[in-house]
Amino acid sequence: MNAINMPDDFNLKSFLADLPHLPGVYRHIDAAGEVLYVGKARDLKKRVSSYFRTTLASPRIAQMVARVVRLEVTVTRSEAEALLLENNLIKSLKPRYNILFRDDKSYPYLAITDHTAPRIAYYRGSTSGRGRYFGPYPNSWAVRETIQILQRVFRLRTCEDNVFANRSRPCLLYQIGRCSAPCVGLISPEDYQADVERAVRFLDGRAKEVMQDIDARMRQASAALQYEQAGVLRDQMGALARVLQQQTMEKIGDDDVDVIAIAQAGGRVCVNLAMVRGGRHLGDKPFFPTHTNDDTAGDVLAAFMGQHYPDSAMPAVLVCSHPLPDPDLMRLLAEQTGVKARLLTRPQGMRKTWLAQAMKNAEMALGRLLSESSARAARTLALATALDMDTDEAALDAMHIECFDISHTAGEATQASCVVYRQHAMQSSLYRRYNIAGITPGDDYAAMRQVLTRRFTRVADGQATMPDIVLIDGGRGQVEVARQVFVELGLDTHTIVGVAKGEGRKVGLETLVFVDGRAPVALGVESAALMLVAQIRDEAHRFAITGMRAQRARARNVSRLEEIDGVGAKRRQKLLARFGGFSGVVDASIDDLGSVDGISPELAERIYQALR
C-alpha cells in the first residue's frame, strides 16, 4: 500500500490531477485533523474528483465537503484489499459522515469438544481448534436454547472437565433426564459417541435421518426383548419430535442463509439479521447504525455488508429486503471471504416467509427503539429544565453528564467509578474505574478528592472536555470536596451537582445540592428528572461496587496462594500465567499443576488440596 497526502501548500486542482487511476481508500479530513469520511474506490482519480464538482448528490455530502481541508489517499493492490482497509479504518476512526455499525463481540458458537466423552458448550472465539463448532448463532440465547435441546434429546454432558473427571456418582442432570452420566460409566463410550454423532447430524440439518435411525433402533431393541432400551429410545424419539414441532420456522434442505431486512422510521434505521444454518432458523439480531441521515436503504445495506462480512462468516445465500446500489460489492466480498454468495431480493417459498418475518422483526425493534429514545429524551429535557440549562434540541442531544461514586469494604480495595451519560443514553465505552491508594482506609472524602483531581487535571490541562454536569453521589461533605478541587484547578463550579439522600434514605426523596449559591432542589417522587439522576447514580454505584468486588477477590485469591507453604512470588506468578488466573489454578488437576516449571508432584498435591 502507498499513501498519498495533500502537501502543505495545498492546491486542489493539481492534487486531483496527480491522483492515479488505481484502487484504494481515501479520507476526508477537517481543519482540526478529524477524519470526516472514509471511502473506497476502484479508480481513486475518478471517485475523489467527483466530490469537488459543482453539484453533489446530497446536502449531507455538500456539508462534509465544505469542511474538508485535507485529503489522504492510500493505493491498494485490489478493490478487495481496499474494502478490507476501508472496513478497518471505519471501525477504528468512527468518521462522523460514514454509516457506522457497532463493532460487537464475535458471534457465539456451539462447540462439541474433542474428548472420549465429548461435552457440548457455549463458545466464542476462533474455530480453528480441535472439536466441532456449529454456528455462528445470532445471540447467546439461541446457543443456550440449542444446548437445552441436545440435553433433552441426546442427553449429552455439559459439565466442565475437572467436574467430569472427579464424579463418583451421577449429578442432578442425570436424575432429570438431561445427561446419560458417562462420567460414572452408566452409558458405554461407544453408545455415548453414537449419541454425539446423532447430535451432530441434527445440528447439520439432518433431523429426519436421525429420527428414522432412532425409530429403527427402537424396533430392533423391542424385537430383541430389550424393553428398557426400547423405552429409552422411544422417549428420545418423542423428545426429538416435540422439538421439531416447536420449531417456529419450517426447514429447507441444508441451506445456510442470512436474511437481511432494513426498516426506516423517525430518522433511524434498523438492520435486522436473521441467520439460517443447516436449514434451521436460529434467530434474529437487530443493528441500529448511526450517521445514516439521508442515506437510502441500499446505502445502509452496502455499509452493513461491507463492515460485517469481512469479519464474519458469509453464507452461500443472502436474502435482502433491498437491492445493492453497487452490484460489484458482492464480487469484492467474494474475493475477500472466499465465498461466492447469491443475493436474492425477490425470494420465493419459505425464503420469502423468512424475509417477511425478518422485516416485521426489524419494524418492531425500530418501534421499540424510537419509543425508548423518546422517553430518554424527555428525561434529559426534564433535567435540563430543572437545572435551568439550555433546552435547545441540539444542546440536549450533546448534554454530557459524568457521575462519580466511591466503593470499598471497610476500607479494603477502595475504587472510584466514573460513568458517562450522553446522547440520552449511558455510554459504557466511556466508563472509567480508578484504584484509590495512599489514603486512610474508609476516608470517602479523600477518595473523592483523589479521583476528581485525577480526572479534572486533564480538563484543566486542555487534554479532555468538561462535562455539562458533574454528579456527585453524596451530600454536602462530598460536594464541598468537589468544590475545593474545582477551585484549585480553576474550573467552573456551576457544573457540580450533589445527590443528597432523603430522610431515611428513601428512594424518591433525594435532593440536588449545589456549591455556587443556588438553593437545593427537591424534584419529587414522580419527577422524570429525578428518574434520570437516579438511573445515572445507580449505574455509578453498580460500576464502582463490581470493580471493588473484583479487585478484592483478586487480592484475596492471591493471598490464598501466598498462604501455601512452598509457593513464593515466582511460583505464584507462573501458576497464574499458566492457568489464566486464580480460577484456572483452582480448576487445574494435580497433573496439570505438576506440569508447571518449579512445581514438584508433592507441591502440586499440596496446592490442589489447599484450594479445595
Q: Give CA–CA dist 567/585, Å, rounded.
A: 13
Residues 308 and 206 in one domain: no
Distance (Å) of CA 219 to CA 181, 494, 542 = 24, 82, 58
Classify residue 252: in a domain, yes or no.
Answer: no
- What residue type is 493 in one-letter code? T
Residues 83 and 123 in one domain: no
Residue 585 is part of a domain; what is its CATH number?
1.10.150.20
SS3 letters across 369-407: HHHHHHHHHHHHHHHHHHCCCCCCHHHHHHCEEEEEEEE
pLDDT for position 401: 95
Contact 496, 486 (CB under 8 A): yes
70: cell is: 485535507
Higher-confidence position of 549 and 30: 30
Classify residue 251: in a domain, yes or no.
Answer: no
Q: Give CA–CA dist 41/290, Å, rounded.
A: 22
Contact 405, 540 (CB under 8 A): yes
Residues 125 and 182 in one domain: yes
Backbone angles phi, psi at 199, to 5 degrees: -65, -40
Contact 341, 365 (CB under 8 A): no
Mean pLDDT value of segment 318-344 = 88
Q: Among 34, 69, 93, identify where a domain stops.
A: 93
Higher-confidence position of 580 and 277: 277
SS3 letters across 487-539: HHHCCCHHHEEEEECCHHHCCCCCEEECCCCCCCEECCCCCHHHHHHHHHHHH
**H or E stretch covering 141:** helix 140-154
- Can you point out the beta strands (E) in 327-382? 342-344
113: cell is: 469438544
pLDDT in tens, 210-237: 777 777 777 777 777 777 667 766 766 6
State the DSSP string of 9-50.
S--HHHHHHH--SS-EEEEEE-TTS-EEEEEEESSHHHHHHG
Residue whose C-alpha cell reads 440520552 in the numeric block: 424
pLDDT for position 103: 60
Classify residue 587: in a domain, yes or no.
Answer: yes
Residues 441 and 338 in one domain: no
pLDDT for position 27: 92
Average pLDDT over all residues of the chain: 82
Residues 179 and 217 in one domain: yes
Higher-confidence position of 470 and 585: 470
Burial of 249: CB neighbours in 10 Å, binned 0-12, 13-18, 19+? middle
Burial of 267: CB neighbours in 10 Å, binned 0-12, 13-18, 19+? exposed
Residues 297 and 438 in one domain: no
112: cell is: 462439541
Q: Among 40, 66, 93, identify where a domain stops.
A: 93
Residue whose C-alpha cell reads 428518574 in the numeric block: 531
Pairing verdict, β 24-29 and 70-75: antiparallel
Q: Give CA–CA dist 369/375, Å, rounded.
A: 10
Residue 68 is part of a domain; what is its CATH number?
3.40.1440.10
Contact 120, 134 (CB under 8 A): no
pLDDT in tens, 273-282: 998 887 777 8
Q: Give CA–CA dist 104/407, Å, rounded.
A: 30
pLDDT for position 323: 92
Classify residue 386: in a domain, yes or no.
Answer: no
Range of the domain at 272: 257-368
DSSP category for residue 124 = -
Q: Give CA–CA dist 416/226, Å, rounded.
A: 66
Classify residue 278: in a domain, yes or no.
Answer: yes
**H or E stretch covering 271:** strand 268-277
Classify residue 374: in a domain, yes or no.
Answer: no
Contact 31, 60 (CB under 8 A): no
pLDDT for position 261: 95
pLDDT in tens, 391-408: 888 888 889 999 998 886
SS3 315: coil
pLDDT in tens, 167-226: 888 888 888 888 989 999 898 999 899 889 888 887 777 767 777 777 777 777 777 777
Residues 181 and 215 in one domain: yes
Sign of CA pseudo-dihedral 308, 426, 449, 409: negative
SS3 78: coil
Q: Among 188, 214, 246, identify where a domain stops.
A: 246
Distance (Å) of CA 227 to CA 211, 219, 417 = 19, 10, 63
Q: How confident is the model at residue 245 (pLDDT cuts 50, 70, 90)?
A: very low
Longest CA span, the chain: 94
Residues 79 and 151 in one domain: no
Backbone angles phi, psi at 154, to 5 degrees: -105, -5
- Chain centre distance of CA 544: 21
- What residue type is 550 in one-letter code? A
Radius of gyration of the chain (CA): 30
Classify residue 556: in a domain, yes or no.
Answer: no
pLDDT in tens, 486-530: 999 999 999 999 988 766 556 567 788 898 888 888 887 778 888
In DSSP terms, 277 is beta-bridged to 280
Q: Give CA–CA dist 375/535, Å, rounded.
A: 13
Using the predicted structure, report yes or no on whether residue 594 has a pLDDT greater than 50.
yes
| pLDDT over 70, % of the chain | 86
In DSSP terms, 454 is beta-bridged to none
Residues 522 and 541 in one domain: yes
Residues 515 and 481 in one domain: yes
Pairing verdict, β 257-265 and 317-320: parallel
DSSP category for residue 467 = P
Sign of CA pseudo-dihedral 596, 599, 602, 605: negative
Residue 433 is part of a domain; what is its CATH number?
3.30.420.340
DSSP category for residue 438 = S
Q: Give CA–CA dist 120/178, Å, rounded.
A: 12
pLDDT in tens, 120-149: 988 887 777 788 888 788 888 888 888 888
Residues 242 and 261 in one domain: no
Q: Give CA–CA dist 63/608, Å, rounded.
A: 66
pLDDT for position 355: 93
* Tally of domains in the chain: 5
Residues 438 and 526 in one domain: yes
Classify residue 165: in a domain, yes or no.
Answer: yes
Distance (Å) of CA 122 to CA 233, 285, 539 = 27, 18, 29
Distance (Å) of CA 261 to CA 251, 306, 361, 365, 379 = 20, 16, 9, 12, 31
